[in-house]
Amino acid sequence: MTITPPSKGVPTKYAAFSGNWAGRLEGTYEGKLAVQSVSSKGKVTVTYAWGILGDNNPGEAAGEGKIVGTTLKLGRLPNGADVSFMMLPDGTLAGTHTLAGQTYTGMFIRQ
């Protein structure tokens, strides 16, 4: 996965999201996030991959998102999932993946 480092014009609070992240939703289901680019206005391009979530199959989706405050919200995934990541003070991301009425949460760390 190619990560384009943020330019000098990108605020630090947005640049902090750049890079590869990995975690586990509900402590069991693997997830990976690659924030490939970040603009000075908080727009991002990403690739997000997830393992089996309950009755849902694993998958991967490339797309766009937007950082507002401390939260990166991805555009709705092709399978209908809504996914967001909140930057915590310790530099980890708190991920939330909502699909078919089920919400899965977990911590993601930079790789």
The pLDDT averaged over each successive group of 10 residues in the chain (111 residues) is: 93 98 90 97 96 80 96 94 97 94 95 96
Would you state the pLDDT for residue 57? 79
* Single pTM value for the model: 0.93
Local structure of 14: helix, strand or coil = helix
18 is written with which tokens? 């750049």
CA quadruple 62, 63, 64, 69: dihedral positive or negative? negative
| Residues 5, 105: Cα–Cα separation, whole Å | 27
Would you state the pLDDT for residue 52? 80
Would you state the pLDDT for residue 21? 98
* Amino acid (one-letter) located at 52: I
Residue in this structure with the two tokens 């902090």, named with its chain if needed: 16
- Residue 65: exposure state from Cβ atoms within 10 A (0-12, 13-18, ≥19): buried
